[in-house]
Amino acid sequence: MAGGVIETELTEEEQTKPVGIVSDGSAVLGLGDIGGFSALPVMEGKAVLFQELGDVSAMPLCLKTQKPDEIIEIVMLLQNSFSGINLEDIKAPKCFEIENKLIEKSNIPIFHDDQHGTAIVVLAALLNALHLADKKIDEVKIVFSGAGAAAIAVCKLILSAGAKNIIMYDIDGAVYRGRIQNNFAHEEIAKYTNLNCSKLPLKDEIKDADVFIGLSAPDILNEQMIRSMAKNSIVFALANPKPEIMPDKAKEYGAFIAASGRSDFNNQINNSLVFPGLFNGVIKNNIKKITNDIKLNCAFALASMVKDDELSTDYILPDALDRQVPLIISKNVI
């Protein structure tokens, strides 16, 4: 009844174990590989968001090791002290191995927020943007800049929502089957993207693209590239703190809808819209595995929070601090 919490008097109030925020500090947003010690303030901030927005107690666990086997072992040894694990700021491709093995072995829910929280909020934003642009997800051409953990997870969720024509780029160019620079995650996603094995540079492939999704580096896009996109183009430039192109410049150059991860522009795409409510729902419903269907449900619920009479090119998602968002997300974790 006490959920593992020691009390001097057992009350009827339900007690739950905290969520563990586990990081090795190898891919901290905007800072890169700064290690677990330096990453602690970031994880403490995440714990505050869990509590304030989702009414979920969370504890930062910043590790001195960056070895996947050791991270997995530590989490397995500690899992009985937590109601779930939020993996955070662990770089690709090792983050895939860590998450997959923990999902397979553990008896509590495992969620890499950099991947799946980002994927849920990007899909929600894309659904609303496509609705405004009068385009269908299974008919549009989508170009990614970035093929790391977040980009691959976003790509997978968008594919499961019906997208069919996606091409991904990283520092070595277009991702395609058999590319010598591919890691195992690139090779897997290449089975479902860039089906023609295009090797064109980004500046050529973005011509007539309906959607650009950037999870890469600053200043990737320029005026010519934006102007070459299809009519009613959608530009999600999500590199932080400096995006692939500034949203105001993207709109100046002809983008129909522009979004970024920044709070000082319209259409902020921020995964804080997702993880507090998601973990609240996971804990309340005693869910042991966060499935793809749960992610899709959350994305559709988040998109639906912006009503048709509110939806505009400058408003495709609720505010990041909207207190109703975690409540709605939690209800849709089923």
Q: What is the largest CA-CA distance in the chain?
A: 68
Q: Where are the beta strands (DSSP E) in the chain?
A: 19-23, 58-62, 84-87, 110-112, 141-145, 165-170, 173-174, 211-214, 234-237, 257-260
Residue 46 among the catalytic residues: yes
Q: Is 1 exposed, middle or buried (0-12, 13-18, 19+ CB in 10 A)?
A: exposed
232: left (phi over 0), alpha (psi -120 to 50) or beta: left
* Cβ proximity of 29 and 89 under 8 Å: yes
197: left (phi over 0), alpha (psi -120 to 50) or beta: left
Could you say which of 46, 135, 141, 295 is catalytic?
Answer: 46
* Cβ proximity of 212 and 236 under 8 Å: yes
Task: Kindly list the catalytic residues.
Answer: 46
